[in-house]
Amino acid sequence: MTRLMLVGNFREMGYDDEPGAPSLLDVRGKRPPAHKAEVVLYLKKAKSVSLSPGFLEDFFDPTKSIGTHTMRTDGTYVWPDFLAGYVDRHDVALPDDFERHMLKRGWKLPDSLDIRSLQLPW
């Protein structure tokens, strides 16, 4: 089984009991503009590994929705659906290794993915 690596586990989004969880406040506005559209599309189009209906309010603008708690994966990393919204709307920086991973893949998700062969990081 492949153990997935978690990204997007921000303290403000309920991961406050996870050691080393980043803060949205620290990464907001820190994402470089290069490949933003490709990254957002990659995050949005990845395969769902868990579904969580209902929308979350944007931490920075509670009058707007930012996404859901549905988890998505590319077979190496796993992230909450709302991560795409924070990258798109607030230029939230992603971990460097995750950015390099997406770039190395040419911003392409796998054509097929057996989610039963994946182990969630928790």
Judge contact between 107 and 38, C-beta under 8 A.
yes
Judge contact between 30 and 92, C-beta under 8 A.
yes
- Give the pLDDT of residue 39: 98
Q: Is residue 111 part of a domain?
A: no
Tell me how many domains the chain contains. Answer: 1
Residue-wise pLDDT tens digits, 32-80: 999 999 999 999 999 999 888 888 999 999 999 999 999 999 999 999 9
With a cut of 90, say whether residue 5 has pLDDT above it: yes
Average pLDDT over residues 7-26: 89
Q: Is residue 25 part of a domain?
A: yes
Residue 62's domain spans which residues? 2-106
Q: Is residue 113 part of a domain?
A: no
Q: Is residue 122 part of a domain?
A: no
Q: Is residue 118 part of a domain?
A: no
Q: Is residue 50 part of a domain?
A: yes
Q: What single-letter DSSP state applies at residue 74?
A: -
**88 CB-near residues (< 8 Å, 6+ apart):** 36, 40
